[in-house]
Structure 1
Amino acid sequence: MCGEDPMALNVDHLLRTAATLEQALKAIDHLERRDDVMFDLYRNAAIKSFELSLETADKLLRKALKAYGGAPRAVDALVFNDVLRHAGKHGLMDALTVERWLRYRANHNNTAHDYGEGFANETLKLLPQYLSDVRALAPALQAVFDASA
């Protein structure tokens, strides 16, 4: 697989971004005050980890859809919301999980345009469930990659 993306057939990078997110959330939970710079630092780290893991999940889901026989160019042309819907059709996530991922994606799109503190704090509320969903998705993706190897 010369020239192939190094995360082509594994979820290690996705799990690494999830671990980073988890550590940022734990650090926030241990802070006594939310009005100091350490809160801002950990909140920003959590949001960045969320963004990175969402982008990684997008790439991995596309690879999984191709493993199901999706035409590579057609899969590449899908918007992420359609990638999520196709993932649901292939059993990588159930309908409720697809809906949550659609909310995560909408939130991610908003973080690119709204850097306000209120919005960042709203994003934090999504992250514990998101972390759980990422960790549930990883083995489902890995199973697809292992089956197609």
Structure 2
Amino acid sequence: MALNVQHLNRTIATLEQALLALAQQPATPNNMLFDLYRNAAIKSFELSLETAGKLMRKALKAFEASPRSVDALVFNDVLRHAGKHGLLSSDAVERWLAYRANRNNTAHDYGEGFANDTLLLLPAYVQDVHSLSVALQKVFDASA
């Protein structure tokens, strides 16, 4: 089975659609559609971030002598290695570390303020994950 980024691209598309729908809703108290689309955007962010991490791990195995060493990396180290091997720029690594920190907080903080803070990250995240998707597919194509 060839490695590809189709599932990642699907999660990105879902996130983009949630953000578009959210933009059509006023952020007023008791607007259930706003809450629904905000929650969908945040869950899509979480899913795409986890998917991106798994794909980065797979791509890094093409650069490492020992694939098991990649399996032992924690997520933040996966991001640093992705920067080291050109999958992410050094600036992008810093942004991805912030996305990951935010994602870790969304798992433990369910407040409305925190959810709205997460929304502020998403436009840049969408651009970054698109760029990563292209870089990952190049690695997968080269190793096929």
Tell me whether the two structures share a fold, i.e. TM-score over 0.5.
yes
| Unmatched 5+ stretches in structure 2 | none
CA contact (8 A) 2:64 2:70 kept: no
Give the letter for the 2:14 counterpart: T
> What is the distance in 2 between the residues matched to 1:51 and 1:58?
11
RMSD over aligned Cα, in angstroms?
A: 1.1
2:26 aligned with 1:32, yes or no?
Answer: yes
Cα offset, 1:70, TM superposition: 4.4
Matches within 5 A, 1:37-56: 37-56=32-51
**Residues 70, 129 of structure 1: CA spacing in aligned structure 2 closer, same or farther, 3 A cutoff?**
farther
Candidates 110, 113, 138, aligned match of 1:143: 138
Q: CA–CA distance in 2 between the matches of 1:139 and 1:102?
A: 19
The residue number in structure 1 matching 2:69 is 74
Q: Whole-Å Cα distance in 2 between the matches of residues 134 and 75 of structure 1?
A: 21
Please give the residue correspondences for 1:121-140 in structure 2 after superposition, counting only pairs within 5 Å.
Answer: 121-140=116-135
With the length of structure 1 as denominator, give the TM-score of the two structures.
Answer: 0.92
Instruction: Choose from 9, 28, 39 the match for 2:3.
Output: 9
Structure 1 residues without counterparts, runs of 5 or longer: 2-7
SS at match of 1:67: coil
What SS is found at the alignment partner of 1:49? helix
Aligned residues: 143
Aligned to 1:90: 85
